[in-house]
């Protein structure tokens, strides 16, 4: 019995000693990294003999720190915004115009970059949502109900009207493609629409288009809006697909339309998207075909994208600037957005009387009623708010990764 107790004590002592040794080793390695890092920051001419000897002694550490610096520099270059010169931009747009004219089935993929002109923040730009969150900064609030379709939205609508664009696949949740007048069957909003809530208890799924952002109470894996279906009484849910979620709704996601359009496409034009999410949707890229039989890819973005090497042409310019030049090359008029023609007013379903106070978001006002933009006859104070999807999925995703680590 005494021998077993001694063995147990000895085993615990060994484990503690081993654990302590590992801690001391890690601390020693950290100290070496700190020392080498300080030396490498100095110009070679200013290093002492002892510091030079330390670099020779810890060559593996020097090599690892140099690799890390290279990776940081590459990442920094990818995040930088690059602008083509005036002449280069015009030349590239001419090439794009030729491709648009010759395309038999042109599909447009759009990202947050086409809505920045409407004061809606993008995600990975210098002031983007993900960029700010990575730096530990708060996201600036913005009233998305005041946003209107941009010049790019209206150009896309006209290109479809002229039968030059067959389908639009969007990552944006702002509903601006729909509000520009683009037909719904032509549009796939892969990540949802902030103006639409649905009843999934009804069959088929019943849709309610609203004049306000329905995502006030929703977030990652929590999609209930607090309002009820007027037909079956079940709780309505938003249509947003958060970071880390998989969208299953038929509309407004319209995955069927997106995949069918991708199969038929001979040209794909990507506008304002980093493509870091879209690249994961293999059905949109026909990667099962030989490279020579895939759609020709044209990209308009200020930053690096993972598809740049596969593109026939990469244009570094703001979407509105590029589309304005493109419409000139195609000799097409750019239609102005007219709130009176905004389809959201004919599509919208009024709230039930008991639901008038169910939200505090500002309402999109009809053109003849812009001074009264509330569902409630009593005056409500407008509040500056941000979309319910902004950053929420990202934050929870990072927390989970930290817990796993």
pLDDT at 287: 81
The whole-angstrom separation of Cα 306 and Cα 314 is 12
In the predicted structure, residue 139 carries a pLDDT above the cut 60: no
SS3 content of the chain, % helix, strand, coil (to 5): 45, 10, 45
pLDDT at 396: 44
Q: How confident is the model at residue 13 (pLDDT cuts 50, 70, 90)?
A: confident
Other residues' Cβ atoms within 10 Å of the Cβ of residue 192: 27
pLDDT at 237: 94
Our CA angle for 162, 167, 169, nearest 5°, is: 135
Q: What is the mean pLDDT of residues 150-156?
A: 96
Which of 2-6, 79-83, 88-92 is least confident? Answer: 2-6
pLDDT at 171: 92
Q: What is the mean pLDDT of residues 359-378?
A: 65
User: What number of residues does the chain have?
Assistant: 405
Which tops the pLDDT comparison, 46 or 187?
A: 187
Instruction: Report whether 319 belongs to an annotated binding site.
Output: no
Burial of 228 (0-12, 13-18, 19+ CB in 10 A): middle
In the predicted structure, residue 294 carries a pLDDT above the cut 80: yes
Q: Which residues contact 165 (CB under 8 A, 6 or more apart)?
A: 106, 107, 108, 156, 159, 186
In the predicted structure, residue 246 carries a pLDDT above the cut 50: yes
Instruction: Report whether 373 belongs to an annotated binding site.
Output: no
- Was domain 86-355 assigned CATH 1.20.1050.10? no
Sheet-wide strand order for 313-315: 187-189, 167-170, 106-110, 267-271, 296-300, 313-315
pLDDT in tens, 183-197: 999 999 999 999 999
In the predicted structure, residue 402 carries a pLDDT above the cut 60: no
pLDDT in tens, 259-285: 999 999 999 999 999 998 888 888 899
How many CA atoms lie less than 13 Å away from 129 in the CB half-sphere? 21
pLDDT at 10: 75
Domain range summary for the chain, segments of one domain joined by +: 22-78, 86-355
pLDDT at 141: 53
In the predicted structure, residue 145 carries a pLDDT above the cut 80: no
Q: How confident is the model at residue 159 (pLDDT cuts 50, 70, 90)?
A: very high
Which tops the pLDDT comparison, 78 or 157?
A: 157
Other residues' Cβ atoms within 10 Å of the Cβ of residue 184: 15
Q: Which residues contact 267 (CB under 8 A, 6 or more apart)?
A: 99, 100, 103, 105, 106, 107, 295, 296, 298
- What's the distance, CA 364 to chain centroid? 24
Instruction: Report whether 202 belongs to an annotated binding site.
Output: yes
**Contact indicator for 272, 152 with CB cutoff of 8 Å:** yes
pLDDT at 220: 83
pTM of the entire structure?
Answer: 0.77
Pairing status of strand 196-199 against strand 206-209 = antiparallel
Which one of 153, 191, 242, 316 is the catalytic residue?
Answer: 191
pLDDT in tens, 304-358: 999 999 999 999 999 999 999 999 999 999 999 999 999 999 999 999 888 888 8
pLDDT in tens, 215-244: 888 888 888 999 999 999 999 999 999 877
**Contact indicator for 258, 168 with CB cutoff of 8 Å:** no
In the predicted structure, residue 152 carries a pLDDT above the cut 90: yes
In the predicted structure, residue 25 carries a pLDDT above the cut 90: no
Q: What is the mean pLDDT of residues 133-160?
A: 76
Q: How confident is the model at residue 138 (pLDDT cuts 50, 70, 90)?
A: low
Compute the mean pLDDT over every residue in the chain, rounded to the nearest whole number.
83
Of 272, 266, 300, 308, the closest CA to residue 286 belongs to 266
Helix or strand holding residue 327 (H, E): helix 319-329
221 flagged as catalytic: no
Q: To the nearest whole percent, how much of the chain has pLDDT over 90?
A: 48
SS3 267: strand
The whole-angstrom separation of Cα 179 and Cα 154 is 10
pLDDT in tens, 31-44: 888 888 888 888 88
């Amino acid at each position: 019995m005494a021998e077993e107790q001694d063995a147990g004590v000895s085993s615990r002592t060994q484990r503690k000693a081993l654990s302590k040794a590992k801690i001391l080793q890690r601390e020693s390695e950290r100290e070496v990294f700190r020392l080498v890092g300080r030396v490498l920051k100095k110009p070679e001419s200013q290093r002492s003999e002892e510091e030079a000897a330390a670099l020779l002694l810890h060559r593996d550490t020097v090599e690892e720190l140099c690799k890390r610096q290279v990776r940081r520099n590459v990442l920094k270059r990818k995040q930088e915004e690059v602008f083509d010169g005036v002449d280069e931009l015009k030349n590239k747009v001419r090439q794009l115009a030729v491709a648009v004219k010759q395309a038999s089935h042109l599909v447009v993929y759009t990202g947050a970059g086409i809505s920045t002109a409407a004061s809606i923040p993008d995600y990975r730009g210098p002031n983007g949502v993900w960029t700010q969150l990575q730096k530990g900064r708060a996201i600036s609030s913005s009233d998305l109900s005041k946003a209107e379709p941009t010049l790019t939205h209206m150009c896309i609508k006209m290109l479809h009207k002229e039968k030059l664009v067959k389908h639009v696949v969007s990552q944006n949740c702002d509903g601006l493609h729909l509000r520009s007048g683009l037909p719904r069957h032509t549009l796939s909003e892969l990540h949802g629409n902030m103006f639409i809530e649905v009843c999934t208890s009804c069959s088929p799924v019943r849709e309610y288009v609203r004049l306000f952002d329905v995502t006030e109470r929703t977030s990652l894996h929590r999609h209930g809006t607090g309002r009820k279906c007027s037909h079956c009484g079940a709780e309505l849910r938003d249509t947003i697909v958060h970071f880390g979620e998989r969208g299953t709704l038929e509309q407004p996601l319209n995955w069927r339309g997106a995949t069918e359009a991708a199969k038929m496409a001979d040209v794909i034009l990507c506008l304002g998207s980093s493509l870091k999410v879209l690249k994961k949707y293999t059905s949109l890229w026909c990667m099962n075909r030989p490279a020579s039989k895939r759609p020709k890819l044209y990209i308009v973005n200020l930053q690096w994208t993972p598809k740049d090497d596969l593109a026939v042409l990469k244009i570094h310019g703001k979407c509105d600037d590029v589309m304005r030049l493109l419409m000139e090359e195609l000799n097409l008029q750019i239609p102005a957005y007219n709130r009176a023609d905004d389809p959201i007013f004919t599509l919208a379903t009024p709230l039930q009387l008991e639901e008038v106070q169910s939200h505090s978001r500002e309402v999109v006002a009809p053109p003849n009623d812009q001074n009264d933009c509330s569902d409630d006859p009593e005056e409500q104070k407008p509040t500056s708010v941000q979309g319910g999807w902004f950053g929420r999925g990202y934050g929870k995703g990072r927390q989970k990764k930290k817990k796993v680590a």
